[in-house]
């Protein structure tokens, strides 16, 4: 039965990873920018959930409705105002630029919220559900369901909406889509905004489960990296597959080698994948 | 024309070596750090500037060198032998690792090199018997044999400074050699370079190894200097990012620019540290952003505008 319990935990973890990575993967795939602020966006989303709950009494799933537009606007503004200026520059410049922005954002959070861990404690607590010998807290189920729904929503936006089709077109061929009348800078900003909104929402959901601190941003960012590479870049199904895969590997890896080796395992896996299968589990060959 | 900057930089570096005459341990400490970061930035230029591969491996090399050096010194090796061994070990490992990792390009290579540092840190953390694990590694041996604080500070300053001179000249030799020419070809167009007979795999791996060897030696010196190292300290991601910012600040692909960038960056950082302790990382971030938006070609581009250097070399 232990196997099933671990599998269940792996799925919970995996769906959250998918939600963390979906926006990151979108930005990386469409803009060819690695957004090092992603982890800080997630933490900021957690603080938003914490503040909304403690000050206004809003449950985290309600705060999603605030987080999504707020983070979309933030991301849109950052892309429009700053990143679009250097979007054609080499990899190194965009990477270093987002690093600089992340230093600022993270420092601002440290000053505003201090490095203390905070915990969003739902009152009354949702309790837990047990089926046979399987036990799972209900807040985790809620977080899992919402993160999968959010990821599905992103998928549908990219698949069905006009803006989404334009984003995909820009990813496939920027010059051709410009010739077709797509306003590329604005699509870039929209894609970055969507990525930021996904990060903020993921942060809101994570606040229900994990303690909140600015120093957690690096580890969230690391997860996003690994999931993107495992699943394949720039596709929402890739993020889901990669997230679940990482969740399973980490959960069973902790069981087999001990929890202190989980990070080594995931980064080791990252290097192996980069070398053997850089296009990821679902990716197509040929994308750099 | 193009050699003027190079000789100018050498002269300035030699003058910088007179720092211990001021007899201030504070100046020596800053000076040693400046040399250490300059070694990193100049080394990074080989892989990042000449070859155009965005390597984040500097932190991995530094930590690797610090632990190799620290463990060897604790075994009774003399400092310079330990530093040399650390450098040699880093060179060989980087060469082998490079053959595998450098098949990746762009972001993928950047992430893979970043992951190497993460893996090394975690491995160091868990290999408690060998490295002391999370408790860190004490290097209690005093390599100078003198009890005076100033003597030791001067000694490590000169050691780091000499290593910087060595690094700078070695990188310059690489730049002027066939290897350097091949690396610049790879940066411009790797497939074309391959076509005209540049063995890209070997060249890139050599570049990666040369970007590691001096950093590892600097790591060994650092370990002996501070007497105590721990994994999050020496495998710090900032050791990977700061040299890049310094090289960008100076001007990408120019060793003299990298030294200049390192010194200027550290000067600014020290000022920010002193005056804005709470928000120093935010101010640094702002600096990076402003630099990239308004001076994308670095400080060497200013001298180019003034007609001091021709072409893209400096």
Neighbours of A168 (CB within 10 A): 18
β-sheet bridge partners, residue B137: B229
What is the mean pLDDT of the segment spanning B238-246?
88
Chain B closest-CA separation from residue A196 CA (Å): 19
pTM value is 0.85
Residue stretches of chain A with pLDDT short of 70: 283-288
Beta carbons of B104 and A274 less than 8 Å apart: yes
In a domain, A54, yes or no: yes
In a domain, B314, yes or no: no
What is the mean pLDDT of the segment spanning B39-62?
92
- Residue B214 is predicted with a pLDDT of 96
B254-292 tens-digit pLDDT: 888 899 889 988 888 888 888 887 888 888 888 888 888
- Residue A287 is predicted with a pLDDT of 38
In a domain, A281, yes or no: no
β-sheet bridge partners, residue B228: B138
Say how far apart CA B55 and CA B244 lie, in whole Å: 9
Question: Around B28, how many Cα atoms within 13 Å sit in the side-chain half-sphere?
Answer: 18
State the total domains in chain B. 1
- Residue A49 is predicted with a pLDDT of 93
State the total domains in chain A. 1
Beta carbons of A85 and B108 less than 8 Å apart: no
**Which alpha helices (DSSP H) does chain B contain, by range?**
2-16, 25-44, 58-74, 79-101, 106-126, 128-131, 149-176, 178-188, 190-195, 200-226, 231-234, 238-250, 255-275, 280-294, 300-305
Highest mean pLDDT among A126-130, B75-79, B132-136: B75-79
For A181, list phi and psi in degrees, rounded to 5: 95, 15
**Which alpha helices (DSSP H) does chain A contain, by range?**
2-31, 38-51, 60-81, 91-113, 138-160, 162-172, 174-179, 184-207, 217-231, 236-257, 262-276
Q: Which residue range forms the structural domain that includes residue A90?
A: 2-115+131-276
Cis ω for the linkage preceding B306 (within 30 of 0): no
Say how far apart CA B36 and CA B164 lie, in whole Å: 7
Take residue B153 and report the two structure tokens written for it: 């500070």
Say how far apart CA B209 and CA B46 lie, in whole Å: 9
In a domain, A284, yes or no: no
- Residue B279 is predicted with a pLDDT of 84
Of residues A138, A158, A148, the one with CA closest to residue A19: A148
The DSSP call for residue B140 is -
Whether B58 contacts B188, CB under 8 Å: no
List the single residue in B118, B237, B296 with the smallest CB-CB distance to A93. Answer: B296
Three-class SS of residue B115?
A: helix
Three-class SS of residue A131?
A: strand
Three-class SS of residue B129?
A: helix
In a domain, A288, yes or no: no
Give Cα A135 to chain centroid, integer Å: 26
C-alpha angle B296/B297/B303, rounded to 5°? 135
In a domain, A190, yes or no: yes
Question: Around B295, how many Cα atoms within 13 Å sit in the side-chain half-sphere?
Answer: 21
Residue in the structure block whose two tokens are 């979906």: A22
In a domain, A94, yes or no: yes
Chain B positions touching A99 (Cβ under 8 A) are 241, 285, 288
Give CA separation, B116 vs A58, A173, B216, B285, in Å: 42, 33, 15, 24
Beta carbons of B292 and A218 less than 8 Å apart: no
Say how far apart CA B244 and CA B23 lie, in whole Å: 32
Furthest-apart CA atoms within chain A: distance in Å = 60
Mean pLDDT over each residue of chain B, to the nearest integer: 85
What is the mean pLDDT of the segment spanning B112-132?
85
In a domain, A250, yes or no: yes
Judged by average pLDDT, the poorest of A32-36, A250-254, B52-56, B149-153 is B149-153
Q: What percent of chain B has pLDDT over 90?
A: 33
What is the mean pLDDT of the segment spanning B177-200?
89
Mutate to test the interface with B, among A34, A107, A112 (most CBs of B within 10 A): A107
Q: Which residue range forms the structural domain that includes residue B191?
A: 2-305
In a domain, B313, yes or no: no
In a domain, B312, yes or no: no
- Residue A288 is predicted with a pLDDT of 34
- Residue B305 is predicted with a pLDDT of 61
Read off the pLDDT band of B314 (50, 70, 90): very low
What does the radius of gyration of chain A's CA atoms come to, in whole angstroms? 19
The ipTM of this complex is 0.81
What is the mean pLDDT of the segment spanning B104-133?
84
Residue in the structure block whose two tokens are 């404690």: A121
- Residue B44 is predicted with a pLDDT of 94
Mutate to test the interface with B, among A36, A103, A227 (most CBs of B within 10 A): A103
Say how far apart CA B4 and CA A214 lie, in whole Å: 47
The CATH number of the domain holding residue B30 is 1.10.3470
List the single residue in B107, B126, B281 with the smallest CB-CB distance to A34. Answer: B107
Given a cut of 50, whether residue B313 has pLDDT beyond it is: no
In a domain, B204, yes or no: yes
Three-class SS of residue B145?
A: coil
Give Cα B279 to chain centroid, integer Å: 26
For A265, list phi and psi in degrees, rounded to 5: -60, -45
Beta carbons of A225 and B119 less than 8 Å apart: no
Beta carbons of B244 and A92 less than 8 Å apart: yes
Is A263 near chain B, with CB under 8 Å? yes
In a domain, A123, yes or no: no
Three-class SS of residue B22?
A: helix
Q: Which of residues 148-207 of A touch B (CB under 8 A)?
A: none
- Residue B1 is predicted with a pLDDT of 43
The CATH number of the domain holding residue A204 is 1.10.3470
Give Cα A117 to chain centroid, integer Å: 21
Given a cut of 60, whether residue B309 has pLDDT beyond it is: no
Q: What percent of chain B has pLDDT over 70?
A: 93
């Amino acid at each position: 039965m232990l196997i099933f319990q671990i599998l269940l935990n792996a799925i919970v973890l995996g769906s959250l990873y998918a939600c963390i990575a979906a926006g990151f993967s979108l930005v990386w795939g469409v803009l060819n920018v690695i957004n090092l602020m992603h982890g800080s966006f997630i933490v900021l989303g957690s603080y938003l959930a914490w503040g909304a709950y403690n000050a206004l009494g809003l449950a985290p799933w309600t705060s999603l409705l605030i987080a999504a537009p707020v983070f979309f606007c933030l991301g849109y503004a950052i892309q429009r105002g700053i990143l679009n200026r250097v979007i054609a520059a080499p990899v190194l410049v965009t990477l270093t630029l987002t690093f600089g922005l992340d230093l600022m954002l993270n420092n601002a959070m440290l000053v505003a919220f201090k490095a203390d861990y905070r915990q969003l404690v739902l009152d009354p607590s949702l309790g837990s559900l047990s089926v046979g010998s399987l036990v799972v807290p209900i807040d985790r189920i809620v977080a899992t369901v919402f993160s999968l729904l959010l990821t599905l929503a992103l998928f549908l936006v990219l698949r069905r909406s006009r803006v989404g089709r334009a984003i995909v077109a820009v990813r496939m061929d920027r010059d051709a889509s410009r010739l077709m009348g797509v306003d590329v800078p604005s699509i870039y900003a929209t894609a970055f905004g969507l990525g930021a909104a996904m990060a903020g929402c993921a942060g809101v959901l994570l606040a229900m489960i994990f303690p909140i601190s600015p120093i957690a941003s690096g580890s969230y960012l690391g997860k996003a990296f690994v999931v993107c590479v495992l699943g394949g870049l720039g596709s929402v199904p890739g993020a889901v597959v990669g997230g679940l895969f990482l969740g399973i590997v980490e959960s069973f890896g902790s069981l087999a080698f001990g929890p202190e080796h989980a990070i080594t395992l995931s980064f080791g896996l990252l290097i192996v994948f980069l070398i053997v299968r850089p296009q990821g589990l679902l990716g197509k060959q040929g994308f750099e | 024309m193009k050699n003027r900057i190079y000789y100018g930089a050498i002269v300035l570096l030699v003058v910088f070596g007179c720092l211990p005459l001021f007899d201030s341990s504070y100046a020596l400490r800053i000076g040693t750090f400046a040399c250490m970061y300059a070694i990193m930035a100049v080394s990074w230029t080989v892989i990042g500037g000449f070859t155009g591969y965005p390597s984040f491996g500097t932190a991995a090399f530094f930590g690797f060198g610090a632990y190799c050096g620290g463990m060897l010194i604790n075994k009774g090796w003399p400092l310079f032998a330990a530093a040399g061994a650390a450098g040699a070990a880093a060179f060989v490992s980087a060469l082998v690792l490079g053959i595998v990792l450098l098949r990746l390009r762009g972001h993928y290579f950047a992430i893979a090199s970043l992951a190497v540092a993460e893996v090394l840190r975690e491995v160091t953390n868990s290999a408690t018997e060998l490295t002391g694990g999370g408790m860190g590694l004490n290097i209690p041996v005093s390599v100078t044999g003198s009890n005076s604080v100033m003597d030791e500070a001067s000694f490590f300053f000169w050691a780091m400074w000499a290593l910087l001179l060595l690094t700078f000249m070695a990188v310059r030799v690489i730049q002027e050699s066939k290897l350097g020419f091949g690396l610049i070809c790879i940066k411009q167009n790797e497939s074309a370079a391959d076509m005209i007979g540049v063995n890209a795999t070997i060249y890139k791996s050599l570049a990666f190894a040369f970007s590691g060897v001096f950093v590892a030696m600097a790591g060994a010196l650092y370990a002996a200097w501070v007497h105590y190292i721990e994994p999050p300290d020496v495998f710090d991601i900032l050791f990977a990012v700061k040299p890049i910012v310094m090289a960008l600040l100076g001007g990408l692909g120019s060793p003299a620019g990298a030294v200049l960038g390192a010194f200027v960056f550290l000067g600014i950082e020290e000022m920010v540290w002193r005056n804005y302790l709470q928000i120093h990382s935010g101010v640094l971030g702002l600096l990076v952003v402003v630099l990239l938006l308004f001076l994308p070609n670095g400080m060497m581009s200013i001298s180019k505008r003034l007609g001091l250097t021709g072409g893209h070399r400096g």
